[in-house]
Amino acid sequence: MKILRLEVPQWEQFDGLVHGFLGRVSGKDRPSNAAFRLSCDDGDDPQAVKQNWCELKLALSLPRISIITARQVHGNTILPVSSETGKLAGIGDGLMTDAPNLCVGVMSADCVPILLVEPTRKIAAAVHAGWRGTAAGIAPRAVASMEEAYGIDPAALHVAMGPSIGSCCYEVGPEVAAQIAANWREELKGAWKPEGVKGRLDLRALNEAQLLGAGIPRSQISKIGPCTACHIGDFYSYRKEGKSGHQLSFIGWRG
Ligand SMILES: [Zn+2]
């Protein structure tokens, strides 16, 4: 099985960090247009999902590292994860940890996967930010949760946003913009282009504006990979394909 894996070039300097933004899965027994599901939340067959996870871990080849995910609901809950946590941390769209040898992960297919890392203290977090989660401020909430739980300084955090739908392909109704503007009017300005009654939303630009507001230095925020809907040969896109697959983004530290 083959999986596209993108890493943040600037993070190569962080010795012991394990991370990746994964893309589409392909292989001899797996046509690239086949569904690759990593959660059962949409009524998927648990056995098939389990099998996908097994294959994924084999392909990633990360011995001694477990990957912890959560049941994602497009909210803004951030779950702390420790070595005691099972494979599923609970219901939430963000996970954070200071434990070695485990990775926190989020699944996405157009939504923005966001990885956060504090390299001195070896803290890591993963966030799933679609428009609802972004409207609920999940990225700044992750920063605040890490600050509160681990006493880190937001200025020491490095953040990367992975492949997700670009404004080129993300037309949404005015009700979406209105819901975001309720709490993020300034942040929305550079991320929203009205077009007739609808408009185009740049989810990564919006999350970046929120992260800057949360105290992350601009030079420590990266955007990795292209628009998922423009590149369905490499990534899953819910908007382009419907319920076809999940790409995993994960991060953690070796102990
Ligand atoms: Zn696009």
CA of 227 to the centre of ligand 1 (A): 5
Ligand 1 centre and the CA of 160: distance in Å? 19
Centre of ligand 1 to C-alpha 167, Å, is: 7
Supply the DSSP string of the chain, one letter for each residue.
Answer: -EEEEE--GGGGGSTTEEEEEEEEEEBTTB-TTS-B----TTS--HHHHHHHHHHHHHHHT-TT-EEEEEE--SS--EEEE-TTS-SEEEE-SEEEE--BTEEEEEEESSSEEEEEEETTTTEEEEEEE-HHHHHTTHHHHHHHHHHHHH---GGG-EEEE-SB--TTT-EE-HHHHHHHHHHHHHHHHTTEEEETTEEEE-HHHHHHHHHHHTT--GGGEEE-S-BTTTTTTTS--HHHHSS-B-EEEEEEE--
* pLDDT of the residue at 45: 87
Taking the centre of ligand 1 as the mean of its atom positions, its distance from the CA of residue 252, in whole angstroms, is 29
Distance 110 CA to ligand 1 centre (A): 10
d(CA 96, CA 79): 6
Question: Taking Cα atoms as reference points, which of 123, 206, 114, 204 lies closest to residue 157?
Answer: 123
Walk across the sheet containing 198-201 and list its strands: 171-172, 198-201, 192-195
**Residue located via tokens 């991370």:** 19
Regions of the chain with pLDDT less than 70 = 32
pLDDT in the model for residue 27? 79
How far apart CA 36 and CA 53 sit, in angstroms, is 10
Structural domains in the chain, sorted by start: 2-164+221-253 (3.60.140.10)
pLDDT at position 26: 83
CA–centroid distance, residue 195 to ligand 1 (Å): 16
pLDDT of residue 243: 81
Q: State in Å: Cα 33 to ligand 1 middle.
A: 18
Instruction: Quote the pLDDT of residue 190.
Output: 95
CA of 212 to the centre of ligand 1 (A): 24
Q: How far is the CA of 230 from the centre of ligand 1 (A)?
A: 4
Q: What is the pLDDT of residue 242?
A: 86
- CA 116 to ligand 1 center in whole angstroms: 24
pLDDT of residue 44: 85
For 130-164, how does the pLDDT look when each residue is reduced to its tens digit (9 = 90+)?
Answer: 999 999 999 999 999 999 999 999 999 999 999 99
Separation of CA 16 and ligand 1 centre (Å): 34
234 CA from centroid of ligand 1 (Å)? 13
From ligand 1's centre to the CA of 153, what distance in Å? Answer: 35
